[in-house]
């Protein structure tokens, strides 16, 4: 759907510290001005996927659409820089993807509770040379009494082509009402490949013998170390809008990922 392109002063540009991103920031702010995120119509993130995740997390409260420009490497969530002058028209014609984040509540060995949001996934990873031993509950019911592994993760459809795919988890269409529960180097049960869960499922991970087999929990790039219990669910009250150049939306990118090397 075509929308009115943003006018000068209606875009907030946020860049990481890399020279490529800073150079793009200088060119774009010279052409279109700069706005504070809370006052802008749109936010443009300059960097890689890590920058996009940070910008999305920071912009949840004011729910402004975010358009990413790739100044990094992979840039799965980003768009190419292209001609500077064409940016307002590209934003006005962009395809939109509305996604919900995961809410992680992690309790550490001191009994402290930590909360963080994840756009891609929440993962538990062993911190030592010892394998992790993790029990898994879904909606309060124990589904696996003990998973012996390097770790385990719960992924959104938007994140299913990231760490989840590297761990041999399934790619989920962006509109699928599913979450991917994927083991990381499972030792026992050796042939368990994970599970597809309803979008509204609440998953609880309990770390067994945490003094000897310590684990860290990570919501995208926010890490909590020495956890004992981690509960994860979709936060449906939070909605984020990603913008992609017309014809290259997130649904198309996820579909393409399944047919390309």
Active site positions, annotated: 49
**Residue 106 near residue 217 (C-beta atoms within 8 A):** yes
Closest by Cα among 46, 128, 43, 127 to 82 = 46
Residue 161 known to bind ligand? yes
Phi-psi region of 65 (alpha: psi -120 to 50; beta: other; left: phi over 0): beta
DSSP code for 219: E
**Residue 158 annotated in ligand binding:** yes
Q: 126 pairs with which residues across the strands?
A: 215
Rounded CA-CA distance 29/229 in Å is: 45
Distance CA 173, CA 252 (A): 9
Residues 240/63, Cβ–Cβ less than 8 Å = yes
121 assigned ligand-binding residue: yes
Residue 131 annotated as binding site: no
Query: Residue 252 annotated as binding?
Result: no
| Spatial distance between the Cα atoms of 137 and 222, rounded to a whole number of angstroms | 23
Q: Which two tokens stand for residue 166?
A: 């590297």
Is 15 annotated to bind a ligand? Reply is no
Residue 198 CA to residue 162 CA, distance in Å, equals 20
Calpha distance 191→110 (Å, rounded): 34
H or E element in which residue 50 lies: helix 49-58
- Report whether 194 belongs to an annotated binding site: no
Is 165 annotated for ligand binding?
A: yes
Tell me which residue has tokens 């995740």: 53
Query: Is 163 annotated to bind ligand?
Result: yes
166 is in an annotated binding site: yes
Closest by alpha carbon to 207, among 215, 217, 199? Answer: 215
Q: Show binding-site residues.
A: 49-50, 120-121, 150, 158, 161-166
Q: Show binding-site residues for NAD(+).
A: 49-50, 120-121, 150, 158, 161-166
């Amino acid at each position: 759907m075509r929308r009115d392109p943003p006018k000068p002063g209606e875009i907030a540009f946020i860049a990481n510290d890399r020279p490529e991103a800073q150079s793009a920031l200088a060119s774009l702010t010279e052409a279109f001005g700069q706005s504070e995120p809370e006052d802008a119509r749109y936010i443009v993130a300059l960097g890689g996927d890590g920058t996009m995740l940070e910008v999305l997390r920071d912009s949840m409260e004011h729910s402004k659409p975010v358009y990413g420009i790739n100044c990094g490497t992979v840039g799965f969530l980003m768009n190419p820089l292209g001609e500077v002058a064409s940016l307002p028209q590209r934003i006005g014609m962009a395809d939109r993807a509305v996604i919900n984040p995961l809410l992680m509540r992690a309790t550490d060995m001191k009994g402290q509770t930590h909360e963080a949001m994840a756009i891609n996934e929440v993962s538990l990873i062993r911190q030592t040379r010892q394998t992790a031993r993790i029990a898994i509950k879904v909606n309060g019911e124990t589904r696996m009494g003990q998973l012996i592994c390097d770790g385990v993760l719960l992924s959104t459809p938007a994140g299913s082509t990231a760490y989840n795919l590297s761990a041999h988890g399934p790619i989920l269409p962006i509109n699928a009402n599913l979450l991917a529960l994927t083991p990381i180097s499972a030792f026992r049960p050796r042939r368990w490949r994970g599970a597809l869960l309803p979008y509204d499922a609440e998953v609880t991970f309990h770390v067994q013998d945490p003094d000897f087999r310590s684990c860290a929990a990570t919501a995208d790039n926010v890490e909590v170390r020495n956890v004992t219990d981690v509960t994860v669910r979709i936060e449906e009250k939070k909605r984020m809008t990603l913008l992609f150049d017309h014809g290259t939306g997130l649904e198309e990118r996820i579909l393409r990922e399944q047919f390309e090397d």
